[in-house]
Amino acid sequence: MAKLTTSRQKALLRKYALNVKFLMTLVSVVLIVYTLPKQAKFGYEFEKGRIWNQRDLVSPYSFAILKTDAEIEADKKTALSTITPVYQRNNDMPVQQLEGFRNDLEIKWHNAGFPDRLKPLYLQTGINVLQSVYDKGVLKLNPKYQIGGKDYGITILSDNVATDKSTSDLFTRERAVEYADVEISKQKALDKAFLLNLVQDRLQTNLSFDAKLTARLEHDVTENLSITRGMVQKGETIITKGSVINDEAYQKLASYKKAFEDNSRNNGNRGLVLLGQFLLTGITISLLMIFLYLFRRDIYQDNRLVSLILLVITAMLATLSLAIKLELPNFYYIPYCIVPIIIRILFDTRLALNIHLLVVLIAGFFVPNSFEFAFYEITAGMVSIYSIKNLIRREQFLISAVIITFTYFVSFIGISLIREGSFLTIDWAEFVPFAVSVLLTLLAYPLIYLFEKIFAITSELTLIELTNTNAPLLREMAFSAPGTFQHSLQVANLAENAIFAIGGNALLVRAGALYHDIGKMENPLFFIENQISGFNPHDKLPYEESAQIIIRHVSKGIEMARKANLPEIVIDFIRTHHGNTRVDYFYQSFLKNFPEKFINENIFRYPGPIPFTKEAGVLMLADSIEAASRSLKEPDEESISILVDRIVKYKLDQNQLSDSDITLKDLETIKQIFKRMLASIYHVRIDY
């Protein structure tokens, strides 16, 4: 089978791009719908203490009223109080210990030195004491059941016969020793210490706690407890419009919701539920695609970027679905703000807000208290986007996390006060899930790096790294072409301030400005800013060759940038910073010295393309104006103003800015900024 060439593959991708986009969108919708819980959505939102603003709610069928958690817990305590711990009697233990006592007495009697006539009395007294103790029973008290006192009731099992006793009627080992001491003391003829020592060694527990059987009895009694109290009959009014949702009304509504969900799960049409979810998810994803088509055509036309956006949305909603299936105790543990942060860093503010709203809209159908959820997450998402609007330092992530936490906290207090009407009744532990979600939001940082590598996207974090002047290429340029390096720094300052004023990515234009002339490192001395001794190698070269050397710094810069793995978005600045203009110095010099010769003008013209973004257009102007300003012999306000106006007009006349989306109003702003900033530049320079 013939292998498709790379160009052929790209052509096929372009041809079927719309089909691929539709397929990706459909797959995303199907995956989201597949992961969502398949049951009907209860149609009412309610909270304790609020006014019921809906119409009178009449029960369409009979249902039981569920007990509250507190009522169920009280019932459990009552039921458990009827269960006494079970102890098993070991009937073999007394026989073994009595036999052991006889043997111990026999062994130690010969060395004791007592008269042999007393031996039967010692034996009988010890046996009587041990028999009395074991007849009652010896046990070890369990602290779990010593509530309100030392003794408690138990059930003793002996040969499958149960007997209820109190531990006060039984012996512990300590009590048994005390009893033996008293009984032996009654026999004055006996050596109490000798006999008590023998008896004490044979006092062991013959009643052992049966934890498994006790736990089983406790489980059985709690499992059989009723979780309902009373009924709401069909046609009965659950709550009337304008009523306050008190404890009783809240419990009826909660019970109705549970009955509705159980009924829809058993009797509802899963196909229709699926259709409803598909329609809702489909319309939200379609709105996203329409937004991209209308306002971010560059992203819409790049299926790689569209797939990334759909992946982020699908992953977040799948995470929510997983949390619902795992019955996570609180859905606010999920870091919803991670989506707008990732989209903001990889794309822009407007898209991040749009996607966050769509995610919250879908999620709102499957979480309790949808309005509260939407308020919490929309406000927090907006704050997360605003707090990193201009990302220039990594610590802004931590600052953003603090601001998001504060926003959650303020929202939490506000909603709690509306609900409770008092600071004293606020359960502050309920804020913990919000704090955890903010900590999980910091996972956006490694995820952004992962998405950058997988989808070949350049984020502002990467641009921050690239604008560090200790980056390898910039450090090499500072050493091998110091004049070009200083020129690049000046261009970066000019372009950054201009783009910030007219609206654009200041960090991107700074990165582009710092790298736009790296191709000059191939032959640094052929560029006037790097000539220190006054020697100019162009003096010995034909004008055409000099022009080609100057022009070649663009293609060489692209080659060096790709070798250093610079992002294409930065390489575009290298490619477009001269557009398709002429190297006028050498072109005019050729015409002046060889007026009779015919010359192909394209020899003196850069290959282009012209700038196709606002940032690239600003960089072109900053580069040309900064370079030309060095040729001013006596720079003053008037000469700088004339220079800036002349170069901007020249670029316009040459149609270099026609694709850059820069308006005439923007140009006026740019010129004013350049004029103000160029006042301190006095370097003499030939205008290439």
Question: Cα dihedral sign for 185, 191, 196, 199?
Answer: negative
Using one digit for the tens of pLDDT, what is the confidence trace for 565-605?
898 899 999 999 888 888 877 777 777 777 777 777 778 88
pLDDT of residue 335: 92
Confidence of residue 265 (pLDDT cuts 50, 70, 90): low
Rounded to the nearest 5 percent, the helix, strand and coil shares of the chain are: 65, 5, 30
Residue 592 in contact with residue 551, Cβ under 8 Å? no
Beta strand 86-89 with 153-158: parallel, antiparallel or unpaired? Answer: parallel
What is the rounded average pLDDT of the residues 95-106?
A: 88
Fold of the 461-682 domain? Hypothetical protein af1432 (1.10.3210)
Confidence of residue 688 (pLDDT cuts 50, 70, 90): very low
Cα 437 off chain centre by:
7
Does 609 sit behind a cis peptide bond, omega within 30 degrees of 0 on the bond before it?
yes
Q: Which of 37-46, 578-587, 622-631 has the lowest mean pLDDT?
A: 37-46
Residue 322 in contact with residue 35, Cβ under 8 Å? yes
- Residue percentage of the chain with pLDDT more than 90: 23
Separation of alpha carbons 434 and 337, rounded Å: 11
SS3 604: helix
pLDDT of residue 673: 92
Asked whether the predicted pLDDT for residue 173 surpasses 70, the reply is yes
Confidence of residue 685 (pLDDT cuts 50, 70, 90): very low
Using one digit for the tens of pLDDT, what is the confidence trace for 456-467?
888 877 888 888
Using one digit for the tens of pLDDT, what is the confidence trace for 609-625?
999 999 999 999 999 99
Cα distances (Å, whole numbers) of residue 350 to 343, 345, 347, 391: 9, 11, 9, 15
pLDDT of residue 639: 86
User: Could you tell me the two tokens for 217?
Assistant: 């009895």
Residue 571 in contact with residue 512, Cβ under 8 Å? no
Asked whether the predicted pLDDT for residue 267 surpasses 70, the reply is no
Q: Which of 143-152, 212-221, 273-282 has the lowest mean pLDDT?
A: 143-152
Using one digit for the tens of pLDDT, what is the confidence trace for 9-20?
555 456 667 888
Neighbours of 75 (CB within 10 A): 16
User: How high does pLDDT run on average in the chain?
Assistant: 84
Asked whether the predicted pLDDT for residue 562 surpasses 70, the reply is yes
Residue with tokens 């006596």: 634
Separation of alpha carbons 660 and 670, rounded Å: 14
Asked whether the predicted pLDDT for residue 684 surpasses 50, the reply is no
Separation of alpha carbons 201 and 193, rounded Å: 12
What is the rounded average pLDDT of the residues 532-554?
A: 81
SS3 322: helix
Residue with tokens 């989201």: 32
User: Could you tell me the two tokens for 601?
Assistant: 């003008």
What is the rounded average pLDDT of the residues 16-43?
A: 81
User: Could you tell me the two tokens for 83?
Assistant: 């269960």
This prediction has a pTM of 0.63
Residue 677 in contact with residue 493, Cβ under 8 Å? yes
Separation of alpha carbons 674 and 637, rounded Å: 11
Burial 88-114 (b: 16+ CB within 10 A, else e): ebbeebbeebbeebeebbeeebeeeeb
Single-letter amino acid, residue 57? L
Residue with tokens 């190297």: 583
Using one digit for the tens of pLDDT, what is the confidence trace for 49-81?
777 777 788 888 788 888 888 888 888 888 888
pLDDT of residue 42: 67
Residue with tokens 């419990």: 251
Asked whether the predicted pLDDT for residue 515 surpasses 90, the reply is yes
Element (H or E) spanning 10, and its range?
A: helix 6-15
Separation of alpha carbons 474 and 467, rounded Å: 9
Asked whether the predicted pLDDT for residue 232 surpasses 70, the reply is yes
Using one digit for the tens of pLDDT, what is the confidence trace for 372-427?
888 999 999 999 998 887 666 667 778 888 999 999 999 999 888 877 677 777 88
Asked whether the predicted pLDDT for residue 541 surpasses 90, the reply is no
Phi, psi at residue 63, to the nearest 5°?
-155, 155
Q: How many CA atoms lie within 13 A of 440 on its CB side?
A: 16
pLDDT of residue 240: 84
What is the rounded average pLDDT of the residues 218-232?
A: 84
CATH 1.10.3210 residue ranges for the chain: 461-682
Higher pLDDT, 329 or 261: 329
User: Could you tell me the two tokens for 420?
Assistant: 């409770």
pLDDT of residue 120: 87
Asked whether the predicted pLDDT for residue 496 surpasses 70, the reply is yes
User: Could you tell me the two tokens for 523?
Assistant: 């032959």
Residue with tokens 């829809």: 264
